[in-house]
A and B are shown apart, each in its own frame.
Chain A
Amino acid sequence: MRTRLIAAVAIFLSLGAGAFAHRLDEYLQATIITVEKDRVEVLMRLIPGVAVSSIVLASIDTNGDGVLSEAEQRTYVERVLHDQSITVDGKNAIPTLVSLKFPAIEEIKEGLGEIQIEFTLDLADGGPQRRIVFENHHQNQISAYLVNCLVPRDPNIRILTQNRNESQSFYQLNYEQPGGGSQLASLRAWSTAHGWMSSVGFTSLFRLGMRHIAEGTDHLLFLLALLLPAPLLALGSRWTGFAGARHSLLQILRVVTAFTIGHSITLALAALGLVRVPSRPIEVLIALSILLSAVHALRPLFPGREARIAAFFGLIHGLAFAATLEELGLGRWERVAGILAFNLGIETMQLIVVAAIMPSLVLFSRMKLYSVVRIGGALYAGFASLGWIAERLLGVHSSVDVVVNLVAHHAAWIAAALFLTSLGCWWLRSAFDQIDTTTAPSVSLPLTGRLPAQSINSRPIAQIE
């Protein structure tokens, strides 16, 4: 009777003057994560506020006898664990319960009780980059979440990023753990041989660079839009036929190199703190650069000066890369190695993408059908950039990112499809041409663009180039 009175007074007071320091109308769920070499240890502290404690208690004391029996405690903990979706490197992980601790039922009623649950996740061998995702669905109508990881005791484990949704019910931890069957084993061996590099996570920065360019679709879109007309010749205000394989390759090489030089310069300057530019204008300029290269792919704006344009906008894209590097909060010396690793990562990914797309471009661009690819690609890049400009300049919310990410998600398939199509068309074309040569021997250049006159034009220029 007396405890009841106290509880009643406590509830009254807390709802009234808000006098107490304990929790009120939230179920606080605080999670602390410790990453070890072969496992992850998780401690959850669950504190129901006084106004929601009856809801929580009802789900623990299922028979309503006012006692939290051992069986009831265990069932509740199992339910809490069941309400967690946990993945390690994308695979479902099953938590192993280590301990549970319940406060007195009176404490829970007063909003002072703290339920503690400890569990572990066993880590199978994996790559050096690991990703753990915690999604907490338990009592999400009334809960507030806190999720944090501790600085790892093992100095070899390096936390890279922690991502959360607004309420922290979703939490993603990315960390690096060397010695886990790396695809980049040779690079790792090299970097560990150079202690200073391994100490700053050379591999992780290299991979971050690769990921940044792969996921930072705006950088790639700029480059690809600029490469679309690379195999072609500009004739006045129009793109005409194929300019020759040598010309195409040289042109692609020039553009990619120029872009690399440009962004390397500003990345280095910004990472060393020598230039500092607010990020918003940079993001807008990047979107603008995509628009320009998209328009250029439709109608030549700056024929023959693509490399210069690539270098110029490379300078701007480099500043955006630096912002990513800055988020890691590296020291000055770490940055020097960091720039190198990060830039190498960017270059590698860039080369992979260009290498994947280039054969299709070169094959396709010999055919009339290429204008469909070119115009389609340019329109796509153009619309994406317009969306980004609106978003970044005016704060308008567009769904550009959703669409672009969807496309980027299937980039490998699209590239493969493009290649197969170009190969198919090429094969059909040569088959036709063979028939043509037998019936009409006057057509002597099977690999022409639109008109014989233009293709004849293109030859000498390609040779001059």
Chain B
Amino acid sequence: MIAFSRRTIPGVVALALICSSVTSAQAQTATSRIVSAANAFLSTLDEKQRQSVLFAFDDEKQRVRWSNLPTSFVPRGGISLKEMNATQRSAAMALVSSALSQKGFEKVQQIMEGDEMLKTTDNNQPPAGNNGNRPPAGDRNGPPPGNGANQPPSGGPPNGAMFGKDVYYISILGKPSEKDPWMVQFGGHHLALNITIAGERGVLTPTLTGAQPALYASKGKTVRPLGQESDKSLALLNALDENQRKQAILSYHVADLVLGPGQDGKTIQPEGLKASAMSDRQRAMLLDLMSEWADIIHKSAAVARMAELKADINETWFAWSGPTTATPGNNITAYYRIQGPHLVIEYAPQRLGGDLALHVHTMYRDPTNDYGRGLAAK
């Protein structure tokens, strides 16, 4: 009996050790990692900066203080990367990264990098006072990557304050917590991430992604920050049969986002082709397209979100307006919308800049759960 006990003790201890290591690994969940990253970031700030960054969780004004526009036109809350030192900046980016998937964080960096391009191409402009009718930068038919147009110039930055990868603002609403809901906001020109953390749940809606230029060369590579959003949608459209296309393609022109910034809490009547009239393969393609937004957030939150969207799939609509082809390797020039009981995605090419393929705004919403309102109610 004793011998048996003696033999079992090491086993029990080993088992206990394994268990505790597993539970400690469990304790290191996404939420706890984000909370640690938030606290680490806050600890790098001085008191004045901290006051600028922190807002009450239910601060409705700060919640809606986001836009597709440059920050010089719509000032954001919080503080910008530009106002931070290197340590603070890397802590801020570590916080954003902790809340996102790897793919999502790359997308965010590519959008910011694109804005840097915009700043540098703007520096190539002739001085003010020249006649303003200069044709849009770049080739109208899609600039070939690496044509030198995007190379940094030597001149001083006239719009330094307006564009660039450091003009992005971070703010925290509520106290970083593993239990109570709180929010991280990160955004600037063409980017508005509103990330609500509530226990183990993570909500990314509403989020705006955009890109201009939506195609550029960086380190010898062609980058399209929202290229998958374009390519996957076109692949889905091409997978529809004639009858389905007739339903999906709207007979009218859609000039812009219908539910862009400031249009919270609205659910428009869905239009287009209902996914219940799609084949399994087409539905899978639609889900895959939706994942371009749903998967921006960290893995476990994205998995839960995709499960929700999948459960809704037969009540989800796909509508398209505009050209049904694209130049190979470039973005579509059409508007599309995906709408379900818990989802609105809009993809809206912009005329500004002269080439619809090179400037796009997209919107990702959950009318039932923007800013995690639905979670708080539960």
User: Is B125 on the interface with A (CB-CB < 8 A)?
Assistant: yes
Q: Whole-angstrom distance between the alpha carbons of A420 and B137 in the complex?
A: 72
Contact residue among A146, A150, A326, A332 (Cβ-Cβ distance under 8 Å from B269): A150
A110 near B73 with CB under 8 A, answer yes
B241 near A22 with CB under 8 A, answer no
User: Is A279 on the interface with B (CB-CB < 8 A)?
Assistant: yes
Q: Whole-angstrom distance between the alpha carbons of A26 and B255 in the complex?
A: 9
Which residues from chain A contact B326 at a C-beta distance below 8 Å? none
Q: Whole-angstrom distance between the alpha carbons of A306 and B175 in the complex?
A: 79
With A18-B352, A18-B359 known as contacts, the answer to whether A150 contacts B241 (CB < 8 A) is no
Q: Whole-angstrom distance between the alpha carbons of A326 and B273 in the complex?
A: 9
Contact residue among B241, B242, B256, B354 (Cβ-Cβ distance under 8 Å from A18): B354
CB proximity to A under 8 Å, residues B227-260: 241-243, 246-247, 251-256, 258
User: Is A144 on the interface with B (CB-CB < 8 A)?
Assistant: yes
With A15-B132, A15-B134, A21-B212 known as contacts, the answer to whether A28 contacts B247 (CB < 8 A) is no
Which residues from chain A contact B122 at a C-beta distance below 8 Å? 13, 17, 19
Q: Whole-angstrom distance between the alpha carbons of A162 and B254 in the complex?
A: 14
Contact residue among B69, B137, B314 (Cβ-Cβ distance under 8 Å from A331): B314
CB proximity to A under 8 Å, residues B337-353: 350-353
Give the nearest-CB partner of A144 in chain B: B255
A-B contact pairs, 17 of them (CB 8 A): A15-B133, A16-B134, A17-B125, A18-B212, A21-B189, A23-B256, A24-B352, A25-B351, A112-B73, A146-B258, A150-B269, A151-B270, A279-B242, A326-B243, A329-B273, A329-B274, A329-B317
B269 near A159 with CB under 8 A, answer yes
Which residues from chain A contact B282 at a C-beta distance below 8 Å? none
Which residues from chain A contact B202 at a C-beta distance below 8 Å? none
Q: Whole-angstrom distance between the alpha carbons of A394 and B136 in the complex?
A: 40
Give the Cβ gap from B24 to chain A, nearest Cβ, in Å.
46
B268 near A149 with CB under 8 A, answer yes
Question: What residues of chain A have their CB less than 8 Å away from a CB belonging to chain B?
Answer: 8-9, 11-26, 28, 30, 32, 110, 112, 144-146, 148-151, 159, 162, 164-168, 273, 276-280, 323, 326-327, 329, 331-332
User: Is B372 on the interface with A (CB-CB < 8 A)?
Assistant: no
Question: What residues of chain B have their CB less than 8 Å away from a CB belonging to chain A?
Answer: 68-70, 73, 118, 121-122, 125, 128, 130, 132-134, 136-137, 159, 162-163, 189-190, 210, 212, 241-243, 246-247, 251-256, 258, 266-271, 273-274, 276-277, 314, 317, 350-354, 359, 361
Further contacts, 9 of them, CB under 8 A, given A22-B352, A144-B253, A327-B247: A12-B130, A13-B125, A22-B73, A26-B351, A159-B269, A162-B269, A168-B252, A326-B243, A329-B276
Give the Cβ gap from A463 to chain B, nearest Cβ, in Å.
49
B269 near A151 with CB under 8 A, answer yes
Which residues from chain A contact B354 at a C-beta distance below 8 Å? 18
Which residues from chain A contact B317 at a C-beta distance below 8 Å? 329
With A18-B353, A21-B210 known as contacts, the answer to whether A168 contacts B159 (CB < 8 A) is no
Q: Whole-angstrom distance between the alpha carbons of A276 and B128 in the complex?
A: 61
Which residues from chain B contact A323 at a C-beta distance below 8 Å? 243
A30 near B258 with CB under 8 A, answer yes
Q: Whole-angstrom distance between the alpha carbons of A193 and B162 in the complex?
A: 63
Q: Whole-angstrom distance between the alpha carbons of A279 and B133 in the complex?
A: 48
Give the Cβ gap from A95 to chain B, nearest Cβ, in Å.
20
Which residues from chain B contact A21 at a C-beta distance below 8 Å? 68-70, 189-190, 210, 212, 350, 352, 361
Which residues from chain B contact A20 at a C-beta distance below 8 Å? 69-70, 73, 352
Give the nearest-CB partner of B137 in chain A: A17
With A16-B134, A19-B122 known as contacts, the answer to whether A166 contacts B268 (CB < 8 A) is no
Q: Whole-angstrom distance between the alpha carbons of A30 and B259 in the complex?
A: 10
Give the Cβ gap from B359 to chain A, nearest Cβ, in Å.
7
Which residues from chain A contact B253 at a C-beta distance below 8 Å? 144, 166-168
Give the Cβ gap from A153 to chain B, nearest Cβ, in Å.
10
Q: Whole-angstrom distance between the alpha carbons of A15 and B128 in the complex?
A: 12
In the A-B complex, the 7 residue pairs with the smallest Cβ-Cβ separation, listed nearest first, are: A18-B353, A329-B274, A144-B255, A12-B132, A15-B132, A164-B252, A16-B134
